Amino acid sequence: MFKNRTKIMGIPVTLLGIMFLATSVAQADAVKIPTHNWSSQLVGAEIVGKLFEMVGEEVEYIPMDSQTVYQAMCDNDIDIVHEVWEGAFGASFEKVVGEGCVIDLTTHDAKTREEWWYPMHVKELCPGLPDWKALDACSDQFARADSNGKGVFIGGPVDWLKHDAEKVEALGMNFVVRNAGSAAAIWAELESGIKQSNAVVIFNWTPNFIEALYEGEFVEFPEHDPACTEDPAWGVNPEQLYDCGNPKGGYLKIGISHEFKETHPKAFAVAQKINFTNLDVAKQSNYVDTDGMEVSEAADRWMEEHKDKWQSWIQ
């Protein structure tokens, strides 16, 4: 194809080789950001990536299970998790922080909660809510043709690791847990319950787009305590763990791999300043789940609407 094999477009082949090498090294050095299976995380990941690009870093997005990502940070396969939810990921995160291979960088202003949740019409079907005992007392309302008379709770995808089945068992509830395959599958269950005025109880969290669309409440389980997930003797069931609810006012943190500061000092400086509020996270999910925007459009929109906020993060 090329007459002169030592030059391509006038550039000596050896030099091209060096340029190619330089490019691949740069890509290997890209900041590696995971993408998970809920909307605010996907949008926020792109916002974080765009901010890093603004200070001259390269970025690579890697779809990843939201639990194994913590070990991946230890192995330097992932550089930063910008949405560490206390309820779902606190245990996995705190373990690797304890091992020293992940750094607990910052805590967002956003306060989080992840818990069983029902739309408001359910409260009339089930007097005594939001107490979990009232929910259990009317479990038959939540039963389906194939649930053997037990109430059905629609849980999140399994990688959110909510220990709902353990909770049901520890509290002796007449419920079964059905894990949805995706966040969208949870919202579909919720919408069909609302349309038909059926009893429906799903896994939900805040901040999320749901609170802008539907009125509803979290179920109140026995108050969370760290001992609940570590010491079987703690709580209403002296023999089992998970006889409690998830944390209220839980943290949302940024975790980074222990090498990140050294390998990507410019991105590190930005990451230290990133700070999302409840409204930021809710908007990031709302743009996608309510407004139907693509993830990258939603990230652009948040950037467009919040210049005042992020401009100081990249100084």
Contact pattern from residue 138 through residue 177 relative to ligand TMO, giving x for each residue in contact according to CB under 6 A and a dash for the rest:
------------------x---x-----------------
Q: Is 85 in the site for ligand TMO (CB under 6 A)?
A: yes
Q: Which is nearer to ligand TMO, 38 or 221 (CB)?
A: 38
Residue 205 interacting with ligand TMO (CB under 6 A): yes
- Can you tell me whether residue 278 is helix, strand or coil? helix
> In whole angstroms, what is the distance from residue 78 CA to residue 64 CA?
9
Taking the C-alpha atoms of residue 33 and residue 269, their distance in angstroms, rounded to an integer, is: 16
Q: Is 88 in the site for ligand TMO (CB under 6 A)?
A: yes
253 vs 264 by CB, closer to ligand TMO: 253
List the structure tokens of 221. Answer: 């389980």
Q: Are 224 and 167 in contact (CB under 8 A)?
A: no
**With binding defined as CB under 6 A, does residue 280 bind ligand TMO?**
no
Segment holding 71, helix H or strand E: helix 69-74
| For ligand TMO, the closer CB: 151 or 250 | 250
Whole-number Cα distances in Å, 279 to 48, 115, 208, 290, 293 = 17, 19, 9, 15, 18
User: DSSP letters along 87-141, please?
Assistant: HHHHHHHHHHHHHTSEEEEEE-S--BEEEEEEETHHHHHSTTTTBHHHHHHTGGG
Of residues 38 and 132, the one with the C-beta less far from ligand TMO: 38
Residue in the block written with tokens 């956003």: 110
Instruction: Note whether 289 binds ligand TMO by CB under 6 A.
Output: no
Residue closest to 37 by CA, chosen among 25, 45, 29: 45
Say how many residues touch ligand TMO, by CB under 6 A.
7
For the CB of residue 207, give the shortest distance to ligand TMO in the complex, in Å.
9
The answer to whether 187 contacts ligand TMO (rule: CB under 6 A) is no
CB of 261 to ligand TMO, least distance (A): 26
- Interface with ligand TMO includes 242 (CB under 6 A)? no
Nearest residue (beta carbon) to ligand TMO: 88
Which residue(s) pair with 205 in the sheet?
Answer: 114
Closest approach, Cβ 266 to ligand TMO, in A, equals 29
Instruction: State the nearest-atom distance from the C-beta of 203 to ligand TMO, in Å.
Output: 7
Query: What does each C-alpha distance from 273 to 175, 225, 276 come to in angstroms?
Result: 43, 30, 10
Interaction of residue 114 with ligand TMO, rule CB under 6 A? yes
Nearest of 279, 143, 109, 289 to residue 214 by alpha carbon: 289
Q: Rounded to the nearest whole angstrom, what is the least distance from the CB of residue 92 to ligand TMO in the complex?
A: 11
Shortest distance, position 97 Cβ to ligand TMO, whole Å:
18
Q: Is 86 in the site for ligand TMO (CB under 6 A)?
A: no
Binding to ligand TMO in span 34-53, by CB under 6 A? 38
Compute the least distance from the CB of residue 292 to ligand TMO, in Å.
19
The C-alpha angle 204, 248, 43, rounded to 5 degrees, equals 50
User: What is the phi-psi region of residue 161: left when phi exceeds 0, alpha when psi lies from -120 to 50, beta otherwise?
Assistant: left
Q: 156 vs 235, which CB is nearer to ligand TMO? A: 156
Min CB(298)–ligand TMO separation in Å = 16
Q: Which residues bind ligand TMO (CB under 6 A)?
A: 38, 85, 88, 114, 156, 160, 205
